[in-house]
Structure 1
Amino acid sequence: MMKQFWILTAFLSLSLFSSDRVGKLPVYKIAVEVTNQTAETLILRDFMKDQIQSTGRGLVSLPIKNFESNVWEFDKEGIASGKSAEVLQKLNDVDKLALISTEDGQAVISFVDVLQQKLEYRNSLPESLSKTLVFDFLGFLDKKNIYLALSETGSGSNSQLKINSLKPTYVAGEPIRFEIEAAEDNFVYVVLVPENQKGEPVLLFPNQFQNDNFIRKGDKVTIPDKRISFKASTTPSKDRIRAFASREEWKEFQLRSKREDSFYKILPPAITGTKSGVRPMIGSQTITASIVQSPVMEWEYQTISR
């Protein structure tokens, strides 16, 4: 009876994370508005909306009725001021808010997370380079879409991967090390998704010391290996480990990290070259599609206080 209970619990846990996004590219619903209506800002708004929608980088919402254009203030940490937060709370039908303005001959784009009420991106260029500014923003949006795909793609019980030694509960700061076992030959990507997506997913495997992520059927790999320290959060949380099995290598990833970092930072190809005025590649959709189409298994663990 107890064995049947745990089997049922595991099945329900996996089902909770299944999503109608499976087979679809997960993207944000984005409102694009201007904070000062001039001919330049309206042209830039329409151009950016067309770029987002036509490339599938997001779903552009209808214009916000009675949009308040003069309330947008954020502190140095990017947190919305009181009035800005009040307005964001009213935006129930969008995930992100893109704000376009011109200031002293500069075109400015700001990108706000509506739920977290936080400024995620802000950049400016001379108005003559406003389209270059849009392409730089699209590079940032590509990165956000990849993170979304890594954390939102629905999981299933037919995965080609098995995880061993991952406990359901860890004490804050306790080292975490587990084992991935492959049922088929695959490239494997293992991602840590922080609780409530408050932080960006971390690519645990491959990493600086474990570059070869092609695992053959029956092989077992310890993640991370003993050369890397990976510890539970210092505060209580419920985080997720997501393991993707792919027949093809995700070559579109640019895996960058500082020399002192053990784990890679994930960058899409569109990030490069945007500052130079070169139109970014429309390539993030390729890697996002690869993520969505790859079988994925997910495990959740809890971090508790000492």
Structure 2
Amino acid sequence: MMKHFLILSSIISLSLFSSDKVGRLPVYRIAVEATSSSKEAITIRDFIREKIQSTGRGLVTPTLKESELGVWEFDKEGNPSEKTIISLERLTSTDKLLLVSTEDGQAVISFVDVLHKKVEYRTSLPDSLSKTLVSDFLGFLDKKNIYLALSETGSGSPNAQLRINSLKSTYIAGEPIRFEIESAEDNYVYVVLIPENQKGEPVLLFPNQFQNDNFIRKGDRVTIPDKRISFKASSTPSKDRIRAFASREEWKEFQLRGKKEDSFYRLLPPAVTGTKASIKPMVASNTLTASIEQSPVMEWEYQILSR
């Protein structure tokens, strides 16, 4: 049975997080392991563990037991072998698996999504550039953490900061999606599309390249997107989420990616596989993640049906 949504008049009700999620930042549980016994691989592994733990970028899980180590084999597209799938299924208390190895004078880092059984990130550099290798990876992890914050956090508030009008709970593939947002106070407003199952990149719907002023004064109403932009339900059936954040401060730390012809911004770069990451670490990622977590958020889910 299709999930129904509570609608009060024409306003979608808020889906605020309970108090147990307020005041803490979600982080991935990361197992960091060396797949080779070389001194270089062990050194890099220990250094990454320390950096992740000391900077709060993740919760480093205890070293895997011999029975959990298993086999770690992935093809060029990042897909695991059958034996590796069995090994990943044993990691019930781990979100991500970071594998470090050294071979032929190269240091290699592979970052595996345990749930979806897929390599998200893989890059290599000469052993002499291991610090750059680690820095590139931490930059990627910073952006993954921001994605997690956008997807899973938000502080509850007894008084709703935002109101949404004219949003339906179901759309037909290709159908235009447009809604109106109103702020109960003067706020910077950020509206983000979260793809189903977090498999895709988050998309910033507002502000966008045509509506670049996202400061909404009390009582003002803004249509998102405006008539200059086309935002349509995806061509395949799915169940996506849209989250709207109200912030007293502008999130200046956002690193956005978009071409001139794009209407909306991508918040994260695509996963890097087999090449050196060219992404600079986000210096203020912890600040931005905290800002996201502390901002009141409203969330709604809509289902896309096939034609």
Tell me the TM-score normalised to structure 1 length.
0.89
Amino acid at match of 2:151: S
CA distance, structure 1, for counterparts of residue 173 and residue 79 of structure 2: 27
**Counterpart Cα distance in 1 of 2:28 and 2:73:** 23
Question: 5+ residue gaps in structure 2?
Answer: 1-5, 270-275
Q: Which residue of 2 aligns with 1:145?
A: 145
CA contact 2:106–2:125 (8 Å) conserved in 1: yes
Displaced runs of 4+ in structure 1, greater than 4 A?
67-70, 274-278
Q: Shift of the alpha carbon at 1:33?
A: 0.2
Q: Is the 8 A contact 2:142 2:282 kept in 1?
A: no
Aligned partner of 2:99 in structure 1 is: 99
1:24 & 1:226 partners in 2: Cα distance? 38
Q: Show the counterpart of 1:164.
A: 165
Aligned to 2:218: 217
Secondary structure in 1 matching 2:100: strand
Question: Per-residue deviation at 1:216?
Answer: 0.5
Q: CA deviation at 1:57?
A: 0.4
Partners in 2 of 1:144 and 1:35 — Cα distance? Answer: 23
1:42 alignment partner, SS class = helix
Worse-superposed segment, 219-228 or 241-250: 219-228
| Alpha-carbon distance between aligned partners in 1 of 2:68 and 2:153, rounded to the nearest angstrom | 34
Percent of matched pairs sharing the same residue: 74
Distance of 1:119 and 1:136 partners within structure 2:
16
**Residue 48 (structure 2) pairs with residue 45 (structure 1):** no
2:247: which partner in 1? 246
Q: Which has the higher helix share?
A: 1
2-side partners of 1:203 and 1:171: how far apart? 22
2:262 aligns with: 261
Which residue of 1 is the match for residue 290 of structure 2? 289
Q: How does 1:9-158 map to 2 (within 5 A)?
A: 14=15, 17-18=17-18, 20-66=20-66, 71-154=71-154, 156=156, 158=159
1:257 is displaced (CA, Å) by 0.8
In 2, the alpha carbon distance for the partners of 1:277 and 1:82 equals: 32
Task: Look up the equivalent residue of 2:41 and give its one-letter code.
Answer: T
Asked whether the 8 Å contact 1:108–1:123 carries over to 2, the reply is yes
What's the CA shift for 1:239? 1.2
TM-superposition CA deviations, 1:218-270 (whole Å, max 9, x none): 111111112222111222222111000000000111222122321112259xx
Are residues 70 and 300 of structure 1, via their aligned partners in 2, closer, same or farther at CA, if it must alter by over 3 Å? closer
The equivalent residue for 1:271 is none
Q: CA deviation at 1:78?
A: 2.1
Q: What one-letter code is carried by the residue in structure 2 that aligns with 1:168?
A: S
Q: Secondary structure at the match of 2:168?
A: coil
**Residue 29 to residue 277, structure 1, CA distance change in 2 (3 Å):** closer
CA distance in 2, matches of 1:149, 1:34: 28
The CA distance in 2 between the partners of 1:6 and 1:213, in whole Å, is 26
User: 1:102-126: per-residue Cα shift (whole Å, max 9, x none)?
Assistant: 1210111000000000100001111
C-alpha distance 256-6 of structure 1, shift in aligned 2 (>3 A): closer
Kindly state the Cα deviation for residue 177 of structure 1 after the two structures are TM-superposed. 0.8
Counterpart position of 1:228? 229
Whether the aligned pair in 2 keeps the contact of 1:171 and 1:303 (CA below 8 Å) is: yes
Separation in 2, partners of 1:275, 1:66: 31
Contact 2:70–2:84 (CA<8 Å) still a contact in 1? no
Q: Return closer, same or farther for 1:102/1:260 CA change in 2, 3 Å cut-off.
A: same
User: What's 2:302 paired with?
Assistant: 301
Task: Say if 1:35 and 1:70, in contact at 8 Å, map to a contact too.
Answer: no
